[in-house]
Amino acid sequence: MISCYKAPSAMICHFTALLCLAIVATSDTSAIKIHPIPECVQNNQNVTLNVLGIDGAIRLFTWYKGTEPNSDNQILNYLPSANPPFTKGAQYFTDVIAQPNGSLVITNLKKSYEGNYTVQIQTASINQAIWDLKLEETCGSFFSAGVIAGIVIAVLTAIGAIVFLSFYLHKKFNNREMNI
- Report the first-to-last Cα separation within the chain, whole angstroms: 94
pLDDT of residue 63: 98
Confidence of residue 180 (pLDDT cuts 50, 70, 90): low
Residue 125 counted as domain residue: yes
Q: In terms of domains, do 124 and 164 share one?
A: no
Q: Which domain holds residue 155?
A: 145-180
Q: In terms of domains, do 127 and 63 share one?
A: yes
The answer for residues whose C-beta is within 8 angstroms of residue 3's C-beta and 6 or more apart is none
pLDDT > 70? residue 18? no
Q: In terms of domains, do 73 and 84 share one?
A: yes
pLDDT tens figures, 154-176: 888 888 888 888 888 877 777 77
Nearest to 17 by CA among 27, 28, 5, 29: 5
Q: SS in 3 state form for 115-170? A: EEEEEEEECCCEEEEEEEECCCCCCCCCCCHHHHHHHHHHHHHHHHHHHHHHHHHH
Residue 66 counted as domain residue: yes
CA distance 39 to 48: 9
pLDDT of residue 170: 79
pLDDT > 50? residue 41? yes
pLDDT > 90? residue 45? yes
Residue 140 counted as domain residue: no
Give the CATH number, domain containing residue 96: 2.60.40.10
Percent of the chain with pLDDT over 90: 58
pLDDT of residue 9: 46
Confidence of residue 26 (pLDDT cuts 50, 70, 90): very low
Confidence of residue 177 (pLDDT cuts 50, 70, 90): low
